[in-house]
Amino acid sequence: MSDKPNSQENQSEEAMKARLAALSVALEKQKDPKSGQDALEATQRTGRAMSLGFRVLSEFVAGIIVGAVMGWQFDAWFGTKPVLLIVMTTFGTIAGFWNVYRIAAAPTGPQAQNDKRSDR
């Protein structure tokens, strides 16, 4: 009679030890520095993408604003009210698009970094 409860306890204890071992293995996999490195690389890629996005946005907006301010000031100096504002804003927009194109056309990636290092 005492053998049955004892054997059930042993089986339950063995099952618990097996589950604990499986959990330990899973925990060690999560602590693996390689998986942490992957997360760091993903975060760095996101940061670089956001940085590039903000750079493109600022280049485009700056071109338009500089063109508009120059056109407004030229209109004030020469008394040609909206004409130079429209012309210079158009040139600023074109310059903004040109800057965005130059950023987009620039080579990126490991090969581009090697090319930059060889130029030095």
Q: 67 and 93 in contact (C-beta within 8 Å)?
A: yes
Q: Which residue has the higher pLDDT, 30 or 21?
A: 21
pLDDT at 11 over 90: no
User: Two tokens at 89?
Assistant: 């804003």
pLDDT at 96: 97
pLDDT at 56 over 80: yes
pLDDT band per the 50, 70, 90 thresholds, residue 38: confident
Residue 55 confidence (pLDDT): 96
Taking residues 61-88, report their average pLDDT: 96
Q: Is a pLDDT exceeding 90 seen at residue 103?
A: yes
DSSP letter assigned to residue 79:
T
- The span from the CA of 8 to the CA of 12, in Å, is 6
Q: With beta carbons less than 8 A apart as the criterion, state whether 89 and 67 touch.
A: yes
* CB < 8 Å & 24+ apart, contacts of 45-51: none
pLDDT at residue 116, as a whole number: 62
Contact 60/96 with Cβ under 8 angstroms?
A: yes
- Does residue 1 have a pLDDT over 60? no
pTM score of the predicted model = 0.61
How confident is the model over 82-97, as a mean pLDDT? 97
Q: How far apart are CA 42 and CA 46, in angstroms?
A: 6
